[in-house]
Amino acid sequence: MDLREQTYEQEELSAQERLWRFATAVYAKPGVAQACIAAQEEWAVDVNLMLYVSWCAREARRLGAEDIRRAQDRCGQWRERVILPLRQQRVAWREQKSRAVEYAAIKQLELDAERTQLDLLATLSEEGARAPSANGQDSQEEAVLLLKHLQVLAAHYGLPKEAFGPFLKALNTP
């Protein structure tokens, strides 16, 4: 079963559930988590935004700079006020054996908060435009759209257009 089959077993799933399944399946692929964390630590990139733009390519939804800005606006406060403080505390407790219970609890809270952010992003996708070949998109068309989305995201962060190359490579590894 390939990634597409794993994430789209049922066509009637909500956008929120489709994005969540896509994000968790992609993040579990070898090399993806490392590429995401590297982008997050090196450039303060929002990993959920990376996953969202990738999912939009899968969904044949075309995104431009304005769409990325809208996505950032939609979930930026949630990320700043909820996710980042949870992450900061989790990282602080990571090596403290006396905080193992609290660490596990805050890690789950952070994951729940990230799912909420993905839900916010998924609602945006329902407002977005579909690419012209939405009904018959093949993997090559999806790859081209994904590359474009990642380049737009890189520009949003003021990064070179090839900044997400390691992420893209990990996504394309079988």
Residue 60 within a domain = yes
Whether residue 30 lies inside any domain: the answer is yes
CB 92 within 8 A of CB 161: no
Structural domain of 163: 3-76+126-171
> DSSP character for 1?
-
Coil, strand or helix: which one is 130? Answer: strand
CA distance 36 to 167: 7
| CB-CB contact of 78 with 114 (8 Å) | no
Asked whether residue 17 is domain-assigned, the answer is yes
Judge whether residue 133 has pLDDT over 50.
no
Confidence of residue 26 (pLDDT cuts 50, 70, 90): very high
pLDDT higher than 50, residue 65:
yes
Question: Is 92 part of any domain?
Answer: no
Residue 145 is assigned to a structural domain of this protein: yes
The residues facing 130 across adjacent strands are 61
Q: For 43-47, 126-130, 138-142, 147-151, which range has the lowest pLDDT when averaged over its residues?
A: 126-130
- Structurally, the chain folds into a number of domains equal to 1
Classify 110 as helix, strand or coil. helix
> CA 105 to CA 93: how far, in whole Å?
11
pLDDT at site 1: 41
Question: pLDDT confidence of 139, banded at 50, 70, 90?
Answer: confident
- Give mean pLDDT, residues 39-63: 95
Residue 52 covered by a domain: yes
Band of the pLDDT at 88, cuts 50, 70, 90? very high
Distance in angstroms (rounded) separating the CA atoms of residues 122 and 167 = 21
pLDDT category of residue 11 using cuts at 50, 70 and 90: low
Query: Does residue 81 form part of some domain?
Result: no
pLDDT of residue 135: 53
Residues 6+ apart with CB under 8 A from 124: 67, 70, 71, 74
Cα separations in angstroms, 71 against 1, 17, 64, 140: 31, 18, 11, 25
Mean pLDDT of 46-55: 97
Q: What is the mean pLDDT of residues 50-77?
A: 95
**Does any domain span residue 16?**
yes
